[in-house]
Copies of this chain bind each other. A is one copy, B any other.
Amino acid sequence: MALIVQKYGGTSLGSTERIIAVAEKVMATRAQGHNVVVVVSAMSGETNRLVALAKSVAESPKAREFDVLLATGEQVTISLLSMALSARKCPARSYTGAQVHILTDSAHTKARILEIDDQRIYADLVQGIVVVVAGFQGIDTEGNITTLGRGGSDTTAVALAAALKADECQIYTDVDGVYTTDPRVVSQARRLEKICFEEMLEMASLGSKVLQIRAVEFASKYNVPIRVLSSFKEGPGTLIAPEDETMEKALISGIAFNRDEAKLTLLGVPDKPGIAYHILGQIADANIEVDMIIQNIGADGTTDFTFTVHHNDYKKALDILHDIAKELGVREVQGDVSIVKISLVGVGMRSHAGIASTMFKALADEGINIQMISTSEIKISVVVHEKYLELGVRALHAAFNLDKAAI
């Protein structure tokens, strides 16, 4: 007998038929003798419907009221799921974020969880009651309703699992696990049995949109094992857990990629101390997030400075760079939106030399020109022309034998 937190996303709850199917899944887990806490998102489509309502009464709706509005989405699903369970003779009780005192800071629409009242939940669990909690929402110290931002239900589930010291936090979604890479790009992509938190963080932030990054960070901090599973297909899913001895002995766990970046370059920047800060400070002031940063010293006492930003910020960043260029006497400003980033991720590369050269050789063999390189302890990222995305990812997937599980 274990304590399991299960989280179901909007697609899994997209209709009343699906809500009933979720009730049956919950009951099956309970029939195995487990205590179950369920965290739910709003029914798919509901959040968009509510946002449209808000936009039609106010151009920029007040954040406090926006949270009051959005929080109704999960309140609907907690009640429907609890009804469905009770009607099938499975005792269940719903709780809003406020009711189980999911205390957050007051940053409306992107609040962070500070504390959860576990007593009420324990009291129900010992009576054999399934506890159904609204994801994505909480209250601040003033009793105002807050929401955690997109994908916040994952964070609620992990935070609850941490607070309750649950044995496992199961995230039900529309994919059946974490893959070595996107199966739409590489048909031989393989589901991973297990992946460690650090790898998952790199995979998630690099575009494998299975799990909310914040939820993985939370899980990593409190050592909560997460299992990603499909709502629609039976299977063991992928376990995301602390790195340990039993972890697959793979060099590389997966290949992530990101099509949403754009590259900006300043050529011939006078090489003086404080230049990087001068440039990136103004970019940061404009609320633009920077991903990769590379600086090379040129031959003539000038330097070339390159970084990547999200597509959506490209135009704004370019305008800022043109201003800076005039100011500093920079030779040239270049920009390129036709790029992709491809990243190898794996804790195995810590203790193995030669990963990078294998990577670069595989790309060179396909005639793919590398525009930028950036490395961290457990990942190597390259920027290439976007036309090489599929070719590059497939070449790397084959070069590292990712279609076969490590022994």
Contact = CB atoms under 8 A, between A and B. Distances in A.
Contacts of A53: 16, 76, 80
A145 B144 CA distance: 16
A76 B54 CA distance: 9
A56 B98 contact: no
Interface in A82-115: 82-84, 86-87, 93-94, 96, 98-99
Copies in the complex: 2
A169 B234 CA distance: 58
Interface in A55-78: 56-62, 64-66, 68-69, 71-72, 75-76, 78
A129 to B, nearest CB: 12
Contacts of A98: 98
A101 B248 CA distance: 54
Given A50-B76, A80-B54, A64 B93 contact: yes
Contacts of A145: 96, 99
Nearest to A23: B57
Given A57-B16, A57-B19, A66 B79 contact: yes
A236 to B, nearest CB: 29
A318 interface: no
What are the nearest 8 A-B pairs in CB distance?
Answer: A58-B87, A69-B79, A68-B79, A72-B72, A16-B56, A57-B84, A58-B83, A61-B83
Interface of A: 16, 19-20, 23, 50, 53-54, 56-62, 64-66, 68-69, 71-72, 75-76, 78-84, 86-87, 93-94, 96, 98-99, 143-145
